[in-house]
Structure 1
Amino acid sequence: MSDKPLVGQVPDDFTRSPNQADHPAVYELENAAMDPDGVLLDAMRELAPWAGRTLLDLGCGSGYWLPGYAAEAATVVGVEPDPSLLPLAAARPGGARVLHGSAEHLPLPDDSVDVVHARFAYFFPPGCDAGLAEVRRVLRPGGRLVVVDNDHHHGEFAQLLAISPWAAYQGNGAATAQWWAERGAVRREVMSEWRFARRDDLEAVLRLEFPADVAEPWLRSRPDALGLTYGYVLFTVEV
C-alpha cells in the first residue's frame, strides 16, 4: 500500500491542471490510450534507466504511471502540488510513496534519487530555474532528469495544438528547446500515438483537450478513427 499522502507547506501558486483535476475519469482514459506500444517508455528507459533504482515522478498527478514505475524501480516517489489529486495517486497499487510538494519545493533529502521524471509537468520555461535547481539537489551524482514535452511539429496531435487557442501559450516549442539546450539538456524526438478501445473514449478525450471548434471538425472528418499520431520531445539533464 502507498503511504498516506503528506500534505505540507507547499505554495499555492502552482499551475493547476484543470483537465486532470476536474475530469479525472476522462484523463484516465487519455493515459490508458497513450503510447500503447511503449515506444516512449523505451526511450525514457534508454535515456535514464530506472530498474533497481530510486525514481521520482515529479508532478505525478493522479498517479497513473506510478505502478508501472514501481514494477521496475527499487523505490518510487510521487510528488504532486495539487491536494485534490493526492488521494488518487496514493490509492494506486505498487507501494509508491506519494508526497505533497512541487518542483520548487521537493520534500526529499539531498542526493536521494537516481531518476526524475516530469511527464507533462513543469516543462514550460522560462522561469523554471528554481525547480531545476531543486531537481539537481535531490539527484545523486550521475542521476538524470527526463522531461516529457509535446512535439509541436510532428504528428496529428501537433496539428491540433497548432490551431488550438488553449495551447497558444506553449508557442511552437522553440523557446522551450532553447531554454533546455542552454542548460545542457539532450533533446530527443519520439513518435508514438494514442490508441483507444472505443470511439466514445477518443471523443471524450479530444473534447477535454481542445475547444469544440478544434475537436469537432477533426472528429467529423475521421468518423472511424480510434486514435491519432502523437509526437513527443524528451529533454534529459544529467547531474
Structure 2
Amino acid sequence: MLDSDNTGTPADFFRAWNQGEHPDLYEIENEALDREGLVWAELARLAPWEDRTILDLGCGTGFWLPRYAELADTVVGVEPDPELLAAARARPGGAEVLHGSAEHIPLPDASVDVVHARFAYFFPAPQNDCTAGVEEVLRVLRPSGSLVVIDNDQHDGEFAALLEAANASAHQGEGEYIKSWWAEKGASTSFVMSSWTFDKPQDLVDVISMEFPNGTSDDWLSSDPQRRRLSYGYALHHLRKH
C-alpha cells in the first residue's frame, strides 16, 4: 500500500504529458468534455453511484470529484502524481484524496461500490498488461460493485481521426485489441458519441495542440480556425464484480 501523503510514488510512475505537464490547459479540456451529458447518462445507467461510495481512480487535479459528490454518499480520489494532489484536495465536495495508483489503492478490501477510471492507467496493448490494476480494483470493490473505464472510441468521431493520424494505437493499444482484452476479463463495452465543446476557438487549438504535440493535428486545425467543437466518441468498459 502507498501512503496518502507525498511519499511512496511507484517506481514505474511517469507523469502524463497532458494533465501532468499542463494542468491549466487540462482544466479547459475537462470543461469542454461532454457538455451534452450523454456520457454521464451512460455512466449512471451502467453503475449508479447515488448514495454509494465511488472511487475516482487517477483523479488528477480532482475536476470530477465535486460532480460525484452531488449524488454519492462518499467520494474518494486516488492519484499517483504527487504534484496534483493539492489541487484535488482543494476541490469542494468533501472528497477524500489519497496518494496511490491503480496497482496500489490505499483502501481496505471491499470498501467501494463504484470505480471510475477516466483516461487513466487502463491502456491495454500487447506491450502493456493492465491486469494488476484490474485485480487491485476487484479487491477494493464490494460484491456486485462495478469498474467503469472511460476511454477513447478509436473508430468514430473527429477525435478518432486525429488519434489515427497520430498513430496513437502504437502506444495505447488498437481499438479491437482493447475491446477483446476487456471481453476476456468479463467486461462489456458500450460506445457513446458526444463532443468537446469549447468557449473559444483558441481554447480548442491549445488543447488539441497539447494532446497532439507532434504536429499531426496541424492540418485539421488550420482547415477551420473558428471551430469550437469536435465530435468525440467514448468507449466505456464495464466490469462487474461477482
Q: State the TM-score, normalized to the length of structure 2.
A: 0.93
* Alpha-carbon distance in 2 for matches of 1:15, 1:37: 32
SS in 1 for 2:215: helix
Note if contact 1:191-1:232 (Cα within 8 Å) is conserved in structure 2: yes
Deviation at 1:61, TM superposition (A): 0.6
What is the one-letter code of the residue matched to 1:146? V
Note if contact 1:166-1:210 (Cα within 8 Å) is conserved in structure 2: no
Note if contact 2:123-2:173 (Cα within 8 Å) is conserved in structure 1: no
Note if contact 1:7-1:99 (Cα within 8 Å) is conserved in structure 2: no
Segments ≥4 residues shifted beyond 6 Å: none
Partner of 1:48: 47
Residue 62, structure 1, aligned to residue 93, structure 2? no
Note if contact 1:56-1:117 (Cα within 8 Å) is conserved in structure 2: yes
Question: Structure 1, residues 104-149: CA drift from partner, whole Å, max 9, x if none?
Answer: 1110001100000000002212411111111001000010000011
Q: Aligned Cα RMSD in Å?
A: 1.3
Deviation at 1:7, TM superposition (A): 3.1
Partner of 1:183: 185
What is the one-letter code of the residue matched to 1:205? V
- 5+ unaligned residues in a row in structure 1: which ranges? none
* Alpha-carbon distance in 1 for matches of 2:51, 2:24: 31
Deviation at 1:212, TM superposition (A): 5.2
Residue 216, structure 1, aligned to residue 218, structure 2? yes
Which of 201, 204, 209 pairs up with 2:203?
Answer: 201
What is the one-letter code of the residue matched to 1:150? N
* Alpha-carbon distance in 2 for matches of 1:8, 1:73: 29
Note if contact 2:169-2:175 (Cα within 8 Å) is conserved in structure 1: no
Deviation at 1:178, TM superposition (A): 1.2
- 5+ unaligned residues in a row in structure 2: which ranges? none
Partner of 2:16: 17
SS in 1 for 2:183: helix
Q: How many residue pairs align between the two structures?
A: 235
Deviation at 1:9, TM superposition (A): 2.6
* Alpha-carbon distance in 2 for matches of 1:150, 1:15: 20
What is the one-letter code of the residue matched to 1:172? E
Deviation at 1:8, TM superposition (A): 4.5
Note if contact 2:15-2:21 (Cα within 8 Å) is conserved in structure 1: no
Give percent identity, aligned residues only.
56
Q: State the TM-score, normalized to the length of structure 1.
A: 0.94
* Alpha-carbon distance in 2 for matches of 1:78, 1:146: 15
* Alpha-carbon distance in 1 for matches of 2:92, 2:133: 28
What is the one-letter code of the residue matched to 1:62? T
SS in 2 for 1:77: strand
